[in-house]
Structure 1
Amino acid sequence: MRKGIKGSLVAAATAVAALAGATQASADIVQPTVEVDTAKVAQILHEKLGDGNTVGYAFAISEDGVFAASGSGGKARIDKNIAFTPYTRMDIASATKNIAGAALLKLVEARGVSLDTKLWGYLPLDLRSTMHESWKNLTIRQILGHRSGIAQMTASLSDADKANVGTLYAGVKFTMTKPIVVDSPWSYTNMNYAVARLIIPKLWDLVEPGRGVPDVTATNSGGWTLAYINERLLAPAGIAPTSCVPVSADTAPHAYDIADTAKGGVLVQLDGADWEACGGHRGLHLSAMDMVRWQAHLRHGTVVSPTVRFQMDSFKLGWYETMTNTGAWAGSYTHGGDLFLGGSREQHSCQGKFPGGVEVAVLMNSKVLSGYQCSVVLNAVKDATTTS
């Protein structure tokens, strides 16, 4: 239930407005009937993320497609005394996969192909020329659902071969020379979404041939995947264009070691050659407000179709499977992001949707002492919920 919220719990009281149409698509998975006190969710998040549990944090909450609450605390930059706010953008790490998954599914639908379409035909020719035959059986559903067998295969490689595996073009190309057992049990790996990044531009070109999308090369897949996400997903949701580097490195958040902030923080971005991985398995720079706006539009809006939403939920595509809950909490879907930098410096994120029409996004630029961030969010919603 949306209630009046006073004081520091609302960082943008003047921004209370509809984030998206509040009509629930009939194709969405039916959720239990619950009432969520979003003011209480905000209070719990302040308790769990503040009071020294993070260096800096922010959260935003929406309900039925309408902004409900936001809050923040601590520092984005200790050295420059810059506060963390709900509008602070940083690398959301693997929470990017939720948006990348929606992007690929939107293109699959527009192309008129199924989730079980073999994806090899959308890959660059030079990758196809060296790939192992087993990769020709790999489908879009298996890539987005982490059932490709890639994680199991890479785990069994020699140390020498593992050194050649990577999410950039050359690393993906090498990985594809090794045999996989498709439709393996769920096993999470960034490589699945690195492969997805390499086919998004090709599908975009096929769907919109006049857009001028070039063939994918070793350096351009990240740029064109980012362009699709900005133009066809974020812009329709009213979210300003983003990248995998900050607008200003001088004011962007740093990742900190919460046990020793005196040693300083580090800027997290996909710069140099790493920028080519942008928009697949990680890298988008977004704020808590951006992320909750995305979640509101993902559930309630028209940025993707009801069919795409149903596919994401039914097959756990773009969601983290072990944080997709069942029973009384069926309808809770999240994807977190975790970055572990040198010297115990960390950044974390989580975005998701929950019963009661509630969406929540959180960001923090250190380890979270109170627990895994998506569990903190889920438990906050549960503790603020009554069942009808």
Structure 2
Amino acid sequence: MEPHSHTPPRLPLELLLMICNEAADSLETLARLCRTWRAFLAPSQRLMYCDVDLEAKSLKETRSWALAVSRHTHLAERVQSLSLRLPDVPQLSPTDSAKIGHALFACVNLKRLDFLRATTGAVDWRTSNLDFVLHMCDFQLTRFTTSYFSFGSELLRIFLAKQNELRFLAVLPGSWIDPQMLEANPRPALPNLIGFKGDAFMIPENRPFQRLELFYNIRLPGLHQYADTLTTLNLISRSESTQGVSLVSLSSIVRTLPLLRHLGLMSTAQAREPRSLGSLLVAEKLPLTATWLETVAVVDRCSKVTTKTVLYGAARNTLETHSSLRRVAIGANVAKAGEMMCIVTRDGDATGEVETKMVKEIDFERVSMFWA
């Protein structure tokens, strides 16, 4: 009789990856798998370190991650997406700043970076400059989102000048940019940049943008300079006014953009006096004299409807009235039900089958075509 073997069973890597993928939504579960059986370590690390979200983590947890990838280059090399939120520079110790810099330097395969500020309010750029953490990095980003840096910094422009694969630049409140900042020497070429997200009056000049997501309060700038390139436009109102941008202004903007295919409209603030959906952009008022639009998304937290049937009717009527549309999404507050979104999609041409989905939350990113 052969002695019992104490060698653990071997499973194919593909099977281990399948098991880990099932637990991918929970880092805690992945860590537990690693502790249970060492064979799970490598496939778990692929998932744990590929898309790293530290946005809601404490500085202590961010520091631990930075130390891990700095010491173990094989972990750093797996990082493709990183999101972190840090306090202002005066609240960071020099040691913490250095650790973040070393970690970023080690993540040579990073493609998407969200570098966000934990605090709001005025920033003194003389004491809040952390651009040196990016200066020596060699990764090639495709997406860069920040509310942390000033684009007036020469070090940041040197960093951007190396980003030949960058496709999307999102400059959120907390960062500083003006239309001329990316024109100063050293001028970043950014040959693949197609999308900008930021303040409507701070769009970098001389860039043939195909996609824009713009924040505004009352007025909007003219966008005719993008007539030959722009395919996607999201307009996000930060005003508490129930008026917002006029339909006349919106129609005139759309008419100057013959290549526009995807239009998104959203209000981020809850107005003091909710309005009815009838005063919003229902079918007869939508600025869709432009018959080339394919998708429309309207999210308006200022509006309130009595039932979800009203929401469905507005979305369905809009789709049926405009034969070019493939999808219409309308989100608003529904009495007694809270925020809801109706998404109506048509297959193929105007005679195609129509599918309706009612979602119990408003998720503009889900229906936005900006990142698509």
Larger radius of gyration: 2
TM over 0.5: no
Q: TM-score, normalised by structure 2?
A: 0.24
**Higher relative contact order by CA 8 Å / sep ≥ 6: 1 or 2?**
1
Q: As a proportion of its length, which structure holds more strand?
A: 2
